[in-house]
Every structure is written in structure tokens, then in C-alpha cells.
Amino acid sequence: MQRDTRQRRAMRRVFMSAGRPLTPEEILEHGQQIVPSLGLATVYRYVKTLTADAWLAEVELPGGGVRYELAERPHHHHFLCRSCDQAFDVHRCPDEIEELAPDGFQVDSHELILYGRCAACA
Ligand SMILES: [Zn+2]
Ligand SMILES: [Zn+2]
């Protein structure tokens, strides 16, 4: 029980410090630096629990597996690096995106995914 609490806290720290969507494997990688005994089965279990708690949200990017990020964050988009397969947050929106819609249509939300190479891979 004690260990469970510690690992759950480690999961929180991983997401707080990463600041980008993480795959379960990436969660494991970062988490093991805090709790070396952390295993992938535990990561999957916590991801499931924390998603059900609406503390984590699923991020599904076409061409990538399911990633997770902290829920209830401000509006943002994602960048998927084709080279290292890491996802990053994008905090800007295109200007005047409403003008893309046909005349007479009203836009109330949008989604956007950027693909390319991250700074480390470019
Ligand atoms: Zn990259
Ligand atoms: Zn936007």
C-alpha cells in the first residue's frame, strides 16, 4: 500500500515534469528514474485508473499509439515528430481558422495536428 502511494505520486511527477503527451513506455522510462521498481503492468494499471478519474486524458494521434496527458488543460494542439515519434504540445492556434469553413457555416471548435521533425531531430 505504501509502495502504491509512492508509485502513484511518481506518475504524477512524471506528467508534471514531461509537459507533453506520453506513451505508456515513455511513462515507464521516466517513472523508473523515480521508482526503479516500476513495471509496465503497473503503469498500465495507473493509466487506466487515472483516466477513469479524469486526471489523465487519452491523446490519439493518427499514425501513433495512444498517449496520455494531464486532463483539464487549456486548449492546445499537438506536434508529432516523424523521426523520434515523440509528441509535443503546441500552444498556438492558426489565425482566422473560422474562414476555412464554407460561407454561412459557424465554427465552434477545431482540431489540428502538426507533423514534422522536432528541434532535436531537425
Ligand atoms: Zn524528434
Ligand atoms: Zn486551437
d(CA 100, CA 24): 36
Q: Calculate how far, in angstroms, residue 5's C-alpha sits from the geometric centre of ligand 1.
A: 33
Q: Calculate how far, in angstroms, residue 47's C-alpha sits from the geometric centre of ligand 1.
A: 24
Instruction: Tell me whether residue 122 is in a domain.
Output: no
In terms of domains, do 55 and 108 share one? no
In terms of domains, do 9 and 34 share one? yes
Q: Quick one: pLDDT at residue 23?
A: 95
Query: How are beta strands 77-81 and 113-116 bridged, if at all?
Result: parallel
In terms of domains, do 96 and 51 share one? no
Domain count, the chain: 2
Q: Calculate how far, in angstroms, residue 22's C-alpha sits from the geometric centre of ligand 1.
A: 14
pLDDT tens column, 49-105: 889 988 899 999 887 789 999 888 899 999 999 999 999 999 999 888 888 999 999
In terms of domains, do 47 and 98 share one? no
Give the domain extent around 37: 2-70
